[in-house]
Chains A and B, each alone.
Chain A
Amino acid sequence: MSELRDLYQEVILDHHKRPRNFRAMEDATRQAQGHNPLCGDRVTIFVRMAGGKVEDVSFQGSGCAISKASASLMTDALKGATVAEVDALFEQFQAMVTSAPDADVDLDSLGKLAVFAGVREFPSRVKCASLAWHALRAALKSDEVIVSTESAAD
């Protein structure tokens, strides 16, 4: 059962039960939807950009504990970040969740997001962890769009 505890750590369960920034944003300058048709996870990411930085970010949607906690932790991690910093974090997060379970990954730079390292033992849940991130990237790239976990990988 220790692998399950690696996946469903306290932090993740907490962010699932009490997701941060879980609200719609009326004055969002950017938004995008993410959808995993295989399991029904849906997330909408709202972003308000100002001066090239993420002034506010929030999300709405329904989904599994992993997708919700990931969206919640992501929004916490991104407040005040520049677009370049968001991109860098996205790459690091993706690299971590898609790496082999025993691979050496720099977890320090990920801060709290490192709790998702456990997802590597559960390949079928990687898409849950990265859904919010893909939606966020789509939000920053264009205005309104729906990202699916089943479309061509970017």
Chain B
Amino acid sequence: MSSTAQAPPSLDISRIREEFPILHQQVHGKPLVYLDNANTSQKPRLVLDALKKYYEFENANIHRATHVLSERSTQAYEGARERVRKFVNARESAEIILTTGCTDGLNLVAQSYARPRLKPGDEILVSWMEHHSNIVPWQLVCEQTGAVLKVVPITDSGELMLDEFDRLLGDRTKIVAIVHVSNALGTINPIETIIAKAHARGVPVLVDGAQAVPHLPVDVQALDCDFYAFSSHKMYGPTGSGALYGKRALLDAMPPYRGGGDMISSVTFEKTTYNTLPYKFEAGTPNIAGVVGFGAAVEYLGGFDMRAIAAHEHDLLEHATRGISEIPGVTVVGTAPKKAGVLSFIMDDIHPHDIGTVLDRDGVAIRTGQHCAQPIMDRFGVPATARASFAIYNTHDEIDTFLRAVRRVREMFA
């Protein structure tokens, strides 16, 4: 392992791009410039080949049969779980629950950890910069239990107000649910600090890591988080798959989330007993191919130093931010000193929707709208923003194309 004083090795971006077939197409007669990675990422050949190979050579149901194909599929599935475990440095594979995505994992914790425990007046602490998937499950739990949602405010630059966090973290707080990297603002939250503060008061912490795991090193043991949820499709894997890390002691004490096959040990109409971890939380035939693809994506990412990826994307962010700040009438939304590769912006008198349409005609794909984060839009007093978000395969030239297209918007609506 290289020391932190050394710069991480730089990436061969053109070689990386060759591994992503979808990038090499034209859109409206222009080369595709895909800058909507926070929405979903594109997939390398390694992942595409794994998906094809699974259905061509390995497909059978898992954990359930004694024939060769079933052995292959089970190995592929459990092999993926083990890869995910290693990638986030969980201690054991029992602590990696394979889900259908980050939203699924967040709902699992809400329903299986929080709901059985919470009493009327208990508190759940979230923040103003959460994605709807880390707000709505808690609102549901509050309705179901009489608990109350408390919300940490954020500054105008899009950072958590840590003194407010201290004030809100109280005797009745039963869980803190916090995003690692904000999808709308790009802010990287100081979750180590948050976890330390919460633990000092005996409060567990759930982290929404969907926008973090693809872009920076994540070590769940080092973080000491109690739960950490993320999605395959944000990190170069297929949709419909994801993982929830949870500390064994917590997962062991939680009732099942969904009932059905595979999560049981024995079933009679008098009594049913549940399977051990992680299977207790994996009911029914899962998205096996999706998990296999997820495992391939983790294998792909594992071939890089995550710090190199973070540095590359940071470089793109700087270039884009500098460039866009020079365009008259543009305001960047989300200006925290520590940001991942997400650039949200608005333009005077020009709605993001119109920005998106003009950019699309230049082959540039960004997201426009509320980014499943209406509270953040309300907080900054905007109906919507335009958002460019970067990944391992984006280049400086692509940022330049993006900036030229934004200038064209300005000219068109002058």
Chain A residues proximal to chain B, CB less than 8 Å: 1, 3-4, 7-8, 13, 16-17, 37-42, 62-67, 122, 124-125, 128
Contact = CB atoms under 8 A, between A and B. Distances in A.
B384 interface: yes
A122 B351 CA distance: 16
A128 B368 CA distance: 13
A40 B412 contact: no
Nearest to A7: B357
A17 B413 CA distance: 9
A41 B351 CA distance: 9
Interface of B: 28, 349-354, 357-358, 361, 368-370, 377, 382-384, 412-413
Given A8-B412, A37-B370, A38-B369, A64 B351 contact: yes
A125 B382 CA distance: 20
B377 A4 contact: no
B352 A39 contact: yes
Contact of B370 (A1, A40, A63, A128): A40
A4 B377 CA distance: 28
A21 B28 CA distance: 36
B353 A64 contact: yes
Contacts of B351: 39, 41, 62-65, 67
B352 A65 contact: no
A106 B413 CA distance: 29
A8 B354 CA distance: 9
Contacts of A16: 413
Contacts of B370: 37-40
A45 B283 CA distance: 49
Given A8-B412, A39-B352, A128-B353, 13 more contacts: A3-B28, A7-B357, A13-B412, A37-B370, A38-B369, A41-B351, A62-B351, A63-B351, A65-B350, A65-B354, A67-B351, A122-B357, A125-B357
B383 A42 contact: yes
27 contacts: A1-B361, A3-B28, A3-B361, A4-B357, A4-B361, A8-B354, A8-B412, A13-B412, A13-B413, A38-B369, A38-B370, A39-B353, A39-B370, A40-B352, A40-B382, A40-B383, A40-B384, A62-B351, A63-B383, A64-B351, A64-B352, A64-B353, A65-B350, A65-B413, A124-B357, A125-B357, A128-B353
Nearest to B355: A64
Contact of B358 (A4, A67, A124): A4
Contacts of B377: 40
B361 A66 contact: no
Nearest to A8: B412
Nearest to B412: A8
A37 B370 CA distance: 8
B384 A39 contact: yes
A13 B351 CA distance: 12
A37 B382 CA distance: 13
Contact of A39 (B28, B358, B368): B368
B353 to A, nearest CB: 4
Contacts of A66: 353-354
B60 to A, nearest CB: 40
B39 to A, nearest CB: 13
A64 B354 contact: yes
Nearest to A42: B383
Contacts of A7: 357
A1 B354 CA distance: 14
Contacts of A3: 28, 361
Nearest to B385: A40
Contacts of B353: 39, 41, 63-64, 66, 125, 128
